[in-house]
Structure 1
Amino acid sequence: MTTVDGLLRPRSVAIVGASERSAMAGRLTRYLRDFDGAVYPINPNHREIHGLPCYPSLLELPGPVDLVLVLVPASRVLPVVEEAGRAGASCVVVLSSGFAEIGADGRELQDQLVAAAKRHGLRVIGPNCQGLIYRPTGLTATFTAAADGEQPGDSGIAYVGQSGALGGSFLGLARDRGIGLTAWISVGNQADLTATDAAELLVADPNVRVLACYLEELPDGARWTRLAARAAELGKHIVVLRSGRSSAGERAIASHTGALVRSGTAFDLLTRESGAIQVDDLDELLDVSVALTGAPSLRAGRIGVITSSGGAGGLAADQAEGNGLALPELDASTQAALAPLVPSFGSVVNPVDVTAQVINDHAQLGAVCEAVAESAEVDAVLVVLTTIGGEPAVAVAESILRAAKRSAKPFVVAWIYSHDQIAAAASLLRRNGVSVLSTTTAALRLIRHLVPHDERRAAVAAPRGLAGFLGRPALTEADGAELLDAMRIARPRGRLAAGPAEAGAIAGELGDRIVLKVQSPDLAHKSDVGGVVVGVPAEQVRDAAADMLETVAANAPEARIDGVLVQELLPGGVELLVGVQGGEDGYPPVLTVGMGGTTTELYRDVVSALGPVDAEQATALLRRLRGWPLLDGFRGRPRCDVAAAAAAIASISQAAVELGDRLGELEINPLVVHGSGAVAADLVVTGRTRR
């Protein structure tokens, strides 16, 4: 059988470790009573379990077995996998724990498990997982208590996640809201079948419309891109929640860029570019997934807000801008339609304040909702409700639902009140495809996710022969001078001096004021060890260079010193950081642009994008910085040469694409932007050892 058939549409399922005494094993067997095919409990100590005949081993079954569920101690799993292979199974789900998650010994056992499965052509889910559910075939092959009781109707939503516990929470939250999942797969340690593998199976399933993913490990970038593209091709949606996005997960590397760009930034940017939606918590994962099963993508982020509370409406208006949404003034025809429906002390602009008077007149509330939804100025409708509960809340929900069913535009409700008081009303709306959130913030964030993003990367430029510049693991600024020239990025005049005497001679050619920089492949931050001196009079360069080398030797005695770079002192300008981390694991390079200099990490005014970018896109990145006004002539200052800065940024991003996975990181800090031109005042380049 194919993996998808063996996993989701097996003809028969065996449970190794079946028992009535174990709560987990007992649930597993009970849930499978609804399965369409044969179910074989395996336990040599029993003849019958939960009314089903029990067999001593997989090799003594009365018929073939496709899917084997394993719930025995870790030390006994390997023989079971071997037996499953001899019995002709196609897939094994190892629910047992005690493998890689416990350390080296468990890792070794897990590797043996995978090797045994490969010898027999088996696919393995887990170990340390909670199994799977596939509603179309009645397959509930899990021990999570969240699968207890009657499940709601099929929603078209599938879930894939690494954490079984969070997966169970997602399943339980969905059931509480009257939402039945079409499929649910917990992949655990991903020893063989990964979350991406499972996602690929489910995206191709005609019963699935939305795929919700919980990830703890970053998937391969190329496969994730193909998965998202396939989903888009099929008209389906992917919603993803990823853990490990905090500062605690940042890569510990020496550069400014590495300190400012989180691990996983490439995944986040690639996910956004692909059209998949990334969310921040489990509730939002479910809310967005449900909304996408019925709501069309919005043309734009213009919302019409209807509320009985001026305060709540004001909050919604304030928060909309922060979510990239707009509250346009409603057109004259819509305001005319609303005027007879809204009291004179209300408002027909936007937000539409219907007052408590209209909320109590349910037919009139429905008419208001319909009128706002029909406006050409509105892409989605947000209804904000406060202290309405009990039976009146159900009547209000019915009026909103009637309007929502008559409109092609999505309706979202922010109901700010006791959950007990609005439970019945919220359930009615959710069962019929209208999302109900408990805050305006959550409601607006949900609407924002329905707005499509138009992300693109620039075309890749012709190669410029840059690979030869990565001949050593780390380039000093002097080494990188020719690289800057090849990228057509201006640099200060200067040369490398072997020692103080030569530094003094070079200084006489460059002007009155000189910059000295120690050159070492071991020093990413030269100024931290006294390796940079700025504004030295030309006649004092020899002595200043000698003092600087002595200071560096004392502060960094292990650093290899190539010499002293002697440069002209640049005039003042706006300092930018431009860094790019080389692509790897199927991900494109990540470009980071920010306000530069020695305070870069302090202010953390940076933005990131996938490379390559063109000059127009580079300018757009600069405009997103809080420090953009400094480039644009803040308080009467002369405007900087943004075009030159953008050209340098675009060139760096193109270089990263050309260098591919040979590049570790390339950083210019600062790129000094003047009224005319932009000059790279410092350069750090590191290569990456190929694996």
Structure 2
Amino acid sequence: MTAVDGLLHPRAVAVVGASERSAMAGRLTRYLSGFDGPVYPVNPNHRRVHGLPCYPSLLELPGPVDLVLVLVPAARVLSAVEDAGRAGASFAVVLSSGFAEVGAEGRALQEQLVEVAGRYGMRVVGPNCQGLLYRPTGLAATFTAAADGVRQPDSGIAYVGQSGALGGSFLGKARDRGIGLTAWISVGNQADLTTTDAAELLVADPGVRVLACYLEELPDGARWQRLTEQTAAAGKQLVVLRSGRSAAGERAVASHTGALVRAGTAFDLLTRESGAIQVDDLDELLDTAVALTGESRPRGHRIGVITSSGGAGGLAADQAEAAGLSLPELDRAAQDVLAPLIPAFGSTANPVDVTAQVIDDAGQFGAVCEAVAESGEVDAVLVVLTTIGGAAAVEVAEAILRAAERRSTAPFAVAWLYSHEEIAEAGSMLRRNAIPVLDSTTAALRLIARLVPQESRRAEPAAPRGLSRFLDRPSLTEADGARLLDALQIARPRGRIVDPADVETVAREIGEHVVLKVQSPDLAHKSDVGGVLVGVRAEQAGRAAQDMLDAVTAGAPQARIDGVLVQEVLPPGVELLVGVQGGKHGYPPVVTVGMGGTTTELYSDVASALGPLDSGQAVALLRRLRGWPLLDGFRGRPRCDVAAAAAAIASLSQAAAELGSALTEVEINPLVVHATGAVAADLLVTTEPRP
């Protein structure tokens, strides 16, 4: 017996707290009636539960037990888990609540729970979870009412998630849509078995083709990457729904990059890079999983729309652009095939309006579907249906299925704008055959767009250059970071850090006009407290520097002052933000570019990617900005030296990859890009505290 056998293929299951008096406990024992092994209710207060002999304790069972379900008050859970270990169980599923989710006392109890189980080499699911289902063994070890109902055909879809309530909702939605899940696991508080652990078990299962995953906490990056790699290697698909995506990061925002890049960006980028699909709600999680059970995904963003309603087709056409999809005009050959199939008052263009007359003839409608899918002009087909229900809906669904079977390279999706009850049978038929059925054109278009494979890759890390020697303080000022910029071959303005008394002398050496900047490891935004002066005349620099220092002292009295940086004035150019957040918790560094300067956060025009990047990838990242035309010669302006900017971005990303977790963040704001060259006009570097 392996650990996974004990969870998904147990020889016997015991239920501690079994009872017919409690709705939850009653369902727990009743649902296990389909399990293909012995079920042992355990409760000293009952002799029989749902017709099964009930035992006073786990230590008095008539045979070995691998899986123990615990549903007793939190105060009695530890003794139940202790008995499970002594009885030789390999897994305990603790459905009881009252642990870490209720505060410090519950957290301490949860830690004791894991310690007790560990003494016996036993794994724990939960606590505060809703259990699991596993179709191949008939195991329904849960109390959620969503497990009630008729067994649906196996879909090859598995689910794992933290929230028991949302997990139950997913299970209920699947049941209502005629989708039988192969496996379903609610991990609750993840005291021992995590979502990633459970996901790895399910990805390894030969019966699982698509894994739907719900997360409330960010998993370890290295573990998550391993899961995505295992999923891809097995030829399977992963769909992810994560909550908390808009929450602020745990650390205080000290830079523009930190303010603009939300927590979890590294996870989102790593998930996308792996080929997994991230969605925004529970319906999308299920609908996307259904679509991925098919043999193909759209190869591009071109869709053909077929509808019986000109209005509905017009809505789909209007909404397609917002979803990143296009409706190309079908070629003449395809329209020639469609012409005899569609009345003159219909349309052979795209959208294809077949009219109600064609919908009434399932064979004719199926021929239209085949013609559009075979046109070669589209990567996916969206069928938009309105008030067609009952037996007529089933005939239409059968016609769509026949067309889909002939053209596996152009997958179908259906937006059915009608009563769920009227289309229930037809919808279930389509979903069982990997054709998603959605109740709005917007949702259908979003789904198709998500299914298009995304290309994303990272560059190979450069050879180490010993950059850690430059991280000699927790926060590097621009003057401190000059050596780092030089090592990275990123240009910077001429300048020197000096005491206030020497400012005017150095200013006269540099030029007629200069830039003055207070240097302090405590000031991430110097301009906010008057710590930056631009275009100061050299002969007035000394007095100006003293006034600047007085303003900074008044505005930030606790700030440590290293001195004043006197720099040359740069010619005007396009200002960019280039920031890299160091790799943490097993994730790669995150590279962010945006339109820079003091208004960076106002416009929030940024794009992010996982590092390291090469120059070509850096250019592609810049092209994603709304402000890209400013670099590319907007309205007759000279084109900027994009190659120089890309080289600086790539070099900074390679530095972050080398420094790893030692680096918290590095930011150049602005990187001033000219017709020739790009210069780092300001720099911020923060590092992780050293032991």
Coarse TM-score class (shorter-chain normalised)? over 0.9
Cα shift at 1:535: 1.1
Structure 2 letter corresponding to 1:233: A
Structure 1 letter corresponding to 2:346: G
Could you tell me how far apart the structure 1 residues matched to 2:7 and 2:285 are?
25
Tell me the residue number matched to 1:559: 559
Could you tell me how far apart the structure 1 residues matched to 2:148 and 2:386 are?
34
Could you tell me how far apart the structure 2 residues matched to 1:156 and 1:676 are?
57
Query: Is 1:488 the counterpart of 2:525 in the alignment?
Result: no
After TM superposition, list the pairs within 5 Å mapping 1:191-590 onto structure 2. 191-248=191-248, 252-408=252-408, 409-499=410-500, 501-590=501-590
Cα shift at 1:71: 0.6
Q: After superposition, what is the alpha-carbon deviation per residue over 1:229-284, rounded to whole angstroms, capped at 9, x for unaligned? A: 11111110010100011155675311100010010000000000001111110000
Q: Check the 8 A contact 1:212/1:238 in 2, yes or no.
A: yes
Could you tell me how far apart the structure 2 residues matched to 1:286 and 1:250 are?
31
Q: After superposition, what is the alpha-carbon deviation per residue over 1:474-496, rounded to whole angstroms, capped at 9, x for unaligned? A: 00000001111111111111000
Q: Check the 8 A contact 1:69/1:141 in 2, yes or no.
A: yes
Cα shift at 1:608: 0.2
Q: Check the 8 A contact 1:252/1:259 in 2, yes or no.
A: no
Tell me the residue number matched to 2:655: 655
Specify every segment of 5 or more residues in structure 1 that has no aligned partner in the other structure, as ranges: none
Structure 2 letter corresponding to 1:472: R
Could you tell me how far apart the structure 2 residues matched to 1:579 and 1:148 are?
51
Question: 1:214 and 1:406, CA in 2 relative to 1: closer, same or farther beyond 3 A?
Answer: same
Could you tell me how far apart the structure 1 residues matched to 2:310 and 2:625 are?
34
Cα shift at 1:381: 1.1
Q: Check the 8 A contact 1:177/1:431 in 2, yes or no.
A: no
Identity of aligned residues (%): 78
Q: Check the 8 A contact 2:241/2:281 in 1, yes or no.
A: yes
After TM superposition, list the pairs within 5 Å mapping 1:552-631 onto structure 2. 552-631=552-631
Structure 1 letter corresponding to 2:388: I
Structure 2 letter corresponding to 1:412: A
Could you tell me how far apart the structure 2 residues matched to 1:277 and 1:463 are?
34
Q: Check the 8 A contact 2:292/2:434 in 1, yes or no.
A: no
Which stretch of structure 1 is more off in the superposition, 375-384 or 422-431? 422-431
Per the alignment, in what secondary structure is the counterpart of residue 213 of structure 2? strand
Query: Is 1:188 the counterpart of 2:188 in the alignment?
Result: yes
Which stretch of structure 1 is more off in the superposition, 391-400 or 205-214? 391-400
Structure 2 letter corresponding to 1:151: R
Q: After superposition, what is the alpha-carbon deviation per residue over 1:25-59, rounded to whole angstroms, capped at 9, x for unaligned? A: 00000011111111111111111111111111111
Could you tell me how far apart the structure 1 residues matched to 2:301 and 2:295 are?
14
Question: 1:475 and 1:318, CA in 2 relative to 1: closer, same or farther beyond 3 A?
Answer: same
Per the alignment, in what secondary structure is the counterpart of residue 239 of structure 2? strand
Per the alignment, in what secondary structure is the counterpart of residue 294 of structure 1? coil
After TM superposition, list the pairs within 5 Å mapping 1:74-89 onto structure 2. 74-89=74-89
Structure 2 letter corresponding to 1:497: V
Could you tell me how far apart the structure 2 residues matched to 1:153 and 1:422 are?
18
Could you tell me how far apart the structure 1 residues matched to 2:230 and 2:188 are?
24
Could you tell me how far apart the structure 2 residues matched to 1:372 and 1:387 are?
22
Could you tell me how far apart the structure 2 residues matched to 1:418 and 1:80 are?
48
Which stretch of structure 1 is more off in the superposition, 326-335 or 622-631? 326-335
Structure 2 letter corresponding to 1:220: D
Cα shift at 1:394: 3.2
Could you tell me how far apart the structure 1 residues matched to 2:378 and 2:289 are?
22
Cα shift at 1:148: 1.1
Structure 2 letter corresponding to 1:161: G
Tell me the residue number matched to 2:170: 170
Could you tell me how far apart the structure 1 residues matched to 2:230 and 2:541 are?
62
Per the alignment, in what secondary structure is the counterpart of residue 340 of structure 1? helix
Q: Check the 8 A contact 1:387/1:416 in 2, yes or no.
A: yes
Q: Check the 8 A contact 2:248/2:263 in 1, yes or no.
A: no
Cα shift at 1:449: 2.4
Could you tell me how far apart the structure 2 residues matched to 1:212 and 1:675 are?
49
Could you tell me how far apart the structure 1 residues matched to 2:421 and 2:29 are?
35
Could you tell me how far apart the structure 1 residues matched to 2:72 and 2:576 are?
59
Question: 1:421 and 1:38, CA in 2 relative to 1: closer, same or farther beyond 3 A?
Answer: closer
Q: Check the 8 A contact 1:126/1:191 in 2, yes or no.
A: yes
Could you tell me how far apart the structure 2 residues matched to 1:586 and 1:248 are?
20
When normalised by structure 1's length, the TM-score is 0.98
Which stretch of structure 1 is more off in the superposition, 675-684 or 316-325? 316-325
Question: 1:145 and 1:47, CA in 2 relative to 1: closer, same or farther beyond 3 A?
Answer: same
Q: After superposition, what is the alpha-carbon deviation per residue over 1:405-433, rounded to whole angstroms, capped at 9, x for unaligned? A: 33213111111233344334323322333
Structure 1 letter corresponding to 2:642: V
Q: Check the 8 A contact 1:250/1:259 in 2, yes or no.
A: no
Q: Check the 8 A contact 1:251/1:263 in 2, yes or no.
A: no
Which stretch of structure 1 is more off in the superposition, 548-557 or 326-335? 326-335
Structure 2 letter corresponding to 1:444: L
Q: Considering only aligned residues, what root-mean-square deviation do their CA atoms show, in Å?
A: 1.4
Q: Check the 8 A contact 1:218/1:267 in 2, yes or no.
A: yes
Q: After superposition, what is the alpha-carbon deviation per residue over 1:606-649, rounded to whole angstroms, capped at 9, x for unaligned? A: 00000011111111111110011111111111111111111111
Cα shift at 1:328: 2.3
Could you tell me how far apart the structure 1 residues matched to 2:642 and 2:20 are?
72
Q: After superposition, what is the alpha-carbon deviation per residue over 1:149-193, rounded to whole angstroms, capped at 9, x for unaligned? A: 222111111100000000000000000000010100000000000
Which stretch of structure 1 is more off in the superposition, 144-153 or 298-307? 298-307
Could you tell me how far apart the structure 2 residues matched to 1:629 and 1:267 are?
30
Query: Is 1:636 the counterpart of 2:636 in the alignment?
Result: yes
Tell me the residue number matched to 1:679: 679
Could you tell me how far apart the structure 1 residues matched to 2:53 and 2:431 are?
42
Per the alignment, in what secondary structure is the counterpart of residue 180 of structure 1? coil
Q: After superposition, what is the alpha-carbon deviation per residue over 1:567-597, rounded to whole angstroms, capped at 9, x for unaligned? A: 1111111110000000011100000000011
Structure 1 letter corresponding to 2:434: G
After TM superposition, list the pairs within 5 Å mapping 1:31-180 onto structure 2. 31-180=31-180
Cα shift at 1:318: 3.0
Q: Check the 8 A contact 1:661/1:690 in 2, yes or no.
A: no
Cα shift at 1:291: 0.9
When normalised by structure 2's length, the TM-score is 0.98
Structure 1 letter corresponding to 2:457: R
Q: Check the 8 A contact 2:177/2:424 in 1, yes or no.
A: no
Could you tell me how far apart the structure 1 residues matched to 2:677 and 2:382 are?
48
Could you tell me how far apart the structure 2 residues matched to 1:311 and 1:628 are?
37
Could you tell me how far apart the structure 2 residues matched to 1:90 and 1:398 are?
47
Specify every segment of 5 or more residues in structure 2 that has no aligned partner in the other structure, as ranges: none
Structure 2 letter corresponding to 1:274: S
Cα shift at 1:390: 4.1
